[in-house]
Each structure stands twice: as C-alpha cells, then as structure tokens.
C-alpha cells in the first residue's frame, strides 16, 4: 500500500543529512530515548529507520509506521538488520493500523514537527497504548528564546515547504500534555534547534 503524502526530494535529502546528524549527536539521543523500553512498541513516522538499532533486546516487537515510500524502503532495510523484530508498514499517525490498548509503549522521534495535525497523531498513539503505557519522545520544538522563536515563526512557511511539512516552531510538549499524557521526564537539549527528549504516561 502506498500512502498519499509523499515528499521524495525531501526524503532523499533526509537520508543523506540524517547520517551527518547521527554522527553529531543524534544517535546518542536516539539511544537515550529508547533506553529501558520493553514489550510491544509502536513507532510513528519511522523515517529511514535510524532508531531501529537502538531498541534494547527487552523489546519483543516493533510496529513502525511510515507514510513516505522512499523513507519506508530504507526503513525496511534497517529492519532486516535489526536485532529486534520490526515490521515496517505504510500508514499515518492519525489512522494507525492497530487495535486499541495493544502496545506497551510508543515512540515519536522528530515526527510531531511533521505530521499535519499533532493533536490527532497523539490521540492516535494514545488510543493504541495500553492504560499506563509510555510515550517516548525526541522532538525539536519552538525556541524559548524570544528572538529565535520569532525567527522560527517567520521562516516556518518556507521551511515547511522544503522540509517535507516539518514546522520548526511547534510547542510539542504542551500538545503532548493536552493530548492526555503525563510527562514524567523531560530534558531540554540545544542541538541546532531546541529539542525535548523524555517520557510520558497515558493517563
Ligand atoms: C524528519 S523525519 C523523521 C524520521 C524519523 N522519525 C527519525 O527520527 O529520523 C519526519 C517523518 O515524519 C513522517 N510523517 C509525516 N507525516 C506523517 C504522518 N501523518 N504520520 C506518520 N508519519 C508522518 C515523515 O514521512 C518522516 O518520516
């Protein structure tokens, strides 16, 4: 099944640029955000599968949902080389191909910036998480610095066009809380853009 939202130029650029970011610190952030996970995990917008090698062996299976055909092909290759069983499927965060309450944990990394409607994506994740299930997040967010934040607002219309629908100025932590998650840990990371890395529980 191919999905409607395709950004082939961005996808090919992301495959190249994300490798540079990995070496500059993103790989360590991915490892940190996935540490200690166990059981059944769902990952939305898995991209080219850069998280896959960081899943601990206490994870029994991962359902990785990725709408973009180019990125999904790379994710399928990464899944074949993963120590943990990973099924990569086409789909969108707001229409997840999964039953309610069927996952122990959910992962959103660098994706709530890009989904068309973050509240709807988080509602989708909340639906498939079991009661008390955990959301792990690693996301870039609007800068808390007055002028940087304003600059992100100004650049947003162009940025989202060239970066596959990504928005640099979303207040994702507020959206996570509003969606019915209790944030139990959060680390603010300055990594080019302002990032938040942490965990939240379905309440
Ligand atoms: C910047 S990339 C990040 C990829 C990956 N999560 C990572 O950590 O490297 C943004 C991702 O969001 C995905 N995406 C965009 N809209 C989506 C949606 N509605 N549902 C799920 N994923 C979506 C894109 O296809 C892309 O894989």
Q: What is the mean pLDDT of the chain?
A: 96
pLDDT tens digits, one per residue of 138-193: 999 999 999 999 999 999 999 999 999 999 999 999 999 999 999 999 999 998 99
Please check the confidence at residue 82 and state whether its pLDDT lies above 70: yes
Q: Both tokens of residue 65?
A: 């949902």
Ligand 1: which residues within 6 Å by Cβ? 5, 14, 18, 44-47, 50-51, 65-68, 71, 92-93, 109-111, 114-116, 165-166
Which position has the token pair 């019915």? 180
Please provide the DSSP assignment of 73-112 as one string: HHHHHHHHT-SS-EEEE---GGG-SS-TT-EEEEEEES-T
pLDDT tens digits, one per residue of 110-128: 999 999 999 999 999 999 9
Q: What is the mean pLDDT of residues 8-24?
A: 95
- How far, in Å, CA of 124 to CA of 43, rounded? 12
Domain annotation covers residue 1: no
Q: What is the mean pLDDT of residues 17-22?
A: 95
**pLDDT > 70: what percent of the chain?**
98
Torsion angle of alpha carbons 18, 22, 27, 33, nearest 10°? -40
Q: pLDDT band at 38, cuts 50/70/90?
A: very high
- How far, in Å, CA of 40 to CA of 58, rounded? 9
Please check the confidence at residue 1 and state whether its pLDDT lies above 60: no
Domain annotation covers residue 2: no
- How far, in Å, CA of 178 to CA of 189, rounded? 22
Pocket test for ligand 1, best of 28, 45, 72 (most atoms within 8 A of CB): 45
Query: 104 lies in which domain range?
Result: 8-202
Domains contained in the chain, number: 1
Q: What is the mean pLDDT of residues 61-73?
A: 98
- The residue whose C-alpha atom lies closest to atom 9 belonging to ligand 1 is 47
Report CA Rg, the chain.
16
pLDDT tens digits, one per residue of 27-37: 999 999 999 99
Domain annotation covers residue 97: yes
Q: What is the mean pLDDT of residues 72-86?
A: 98
Domain annotation covers residue 167: yes
Please check the confidence at residue 2 and state whether its pLDDT lies above 60: no
Domain annotation covers residue 113: yes
- In terms of Cα–Cα distance, which of 125, 132, 131, 84 is closest to 107? 125
pLDDT recorded at residue 4: 64
Please name the residues in contact with 195: beta carbons below 8 A apart, sequence gap of 6 or more: 29, 138, 139, 140, 141, 188, 189
- In terms of Cα–Cα distance, which of 23, 17, 25, 75 is closest to 51? 75
Q: Are 109 and 46 spatial neighbours (Cβ–Cβ below 8 Å)?
A: no
pLDDT recorded at residue 77: 98
In a 13 Å sphere around the CA of 38, the CA atoms on its Cβ side amount to 2
pLDDT recorded at residue 198: 98
- In terms of Cα–Cα distance, which of 75, 133, 132 is closest to 104? 133
Q: Both tokens of residue 18?
A: 């994300």
Atom of ligand 1 nearest to the CA of 43: 6
Which CATH number goes with the domain that contains 58? 3.40.50.150
Domain annotation covers residue 146: yes
pLDDT recorded at residue 44: 98
Q: Are 112 and 122 spatial neighbours (Cβ–Cβ below 8 Å)?
A: yes
- How far, in Å, CA of 15 to CA of 70, rounded? 9
Which position has the token pair 């219309």? 157
pLDDT recorded at residue 3: 59
């Amino acid at each position: 099944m191919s999905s409607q939202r395709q950004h082939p130029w961005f996808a090919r650029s992301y495959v190249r640029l994300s490798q540079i970011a990995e070496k500059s610190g993103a790989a360590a952030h991915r490892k940190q955000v996935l540490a200690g996970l166990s059981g059944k995990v769902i990952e939305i917008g898995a991209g080219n599968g850069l998280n896959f090698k960081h899943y601990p062996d206490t994870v029994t299976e991962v359902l990785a949902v990725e709408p973009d055909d180019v990125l999904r092909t790379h994710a399928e290759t990464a899944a074949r080389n993963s120590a943990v069983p990973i099924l990569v499927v086409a789909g969108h965060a707001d229409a997840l191909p999964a039953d309610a309450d069927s996952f122990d944990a959910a992962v959103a990394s660098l994706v709530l910036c890009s989904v068309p409607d973050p509240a709807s994506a988080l509602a989708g994740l909340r639906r498939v998480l079991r009661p008390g299930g955990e959301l792990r997040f690693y996301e870039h967010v609007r800068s808390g610095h007055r002028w940087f934040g304003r600059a992100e607002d100004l650049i947003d219309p162009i940025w989202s066009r060239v970066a596959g629908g990504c928005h640099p100025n979303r207040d994702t932590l507020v959206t996570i809380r509003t969606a019915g998650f209790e944030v139990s840990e959060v680390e603010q990371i300055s990594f080019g853009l302002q990032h938040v890395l942490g965990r939240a529980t379905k309440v």
